[in-house]
Amino acid sequence: MRLWTLHPRYLDTKGLLAAWREGLLAQKVLKGGTRGYRHHPQLARFKASPDPPAAVAAYLRALHQEARRRGYNFDAEKIESRGGGDRVRATRGQLLYEWEHLKRKLDTRDPRRLAELESVSEPDPHPLFEIVEGGVEDWEVLGDD
């Protein structure tokens, strides 16, 4: 499961589709609808928010907005919570770690997309996240693909 701190505009098609699918899974997990994934490290920051279902809904809404911008048809009805959700803190180190992680993925699966992002020195975060100083988050599995 990869719930990107990065703004969804940087994701290639495969990454955006995976983020949507995994965001929907996170939504189900946070609402108690699964037996598995309940302790997945990527869920830690959502669980730490005042309203985890609203936070994951805000995450999904930004993915949906990016999908619409690209002409994809993600079903907004699958986003269960209508609440706004507070912004969630994420560290600059996490954002930059994910940026390098994404670039490694794009190097093999979508070199053209990687070339389009070459001029970006520091990426914008997903709108849900408020970036604070700090290293890679403790919950991150370093080297995760």
Residue type, position 60, single letter: L
Are the CB atoms for 26 and 42 separated by under 8 Å? yes
Are the CB atoms for 121 and 55 separated by under 8 Å? no
Structure tokens of 68?
A: 């619409």
User: Please, what is the average pLDDT of the chain?
Assistant: 91
Read off the pLDDT of residues 28-60 as tens digits, 9 standing for 90 and up: 998 887 776 777 778 899 888 888 889 999 999
pLDDT of residue 36: 64
pLDDT of residue 135: 96
DSSP 123: P
Helix (H) or strand (E) holding 90: strand 88-91
Confidence of residue 142 (pLDDT cuts 50, 70, 90): confident
Read off the pLDDT of residues 97-109 as tens digits, 9 standing for 90 and up: 999 999 999 999 9
The per-type count for the chain, helices as H runs and strands as E runs, is: 5, 2
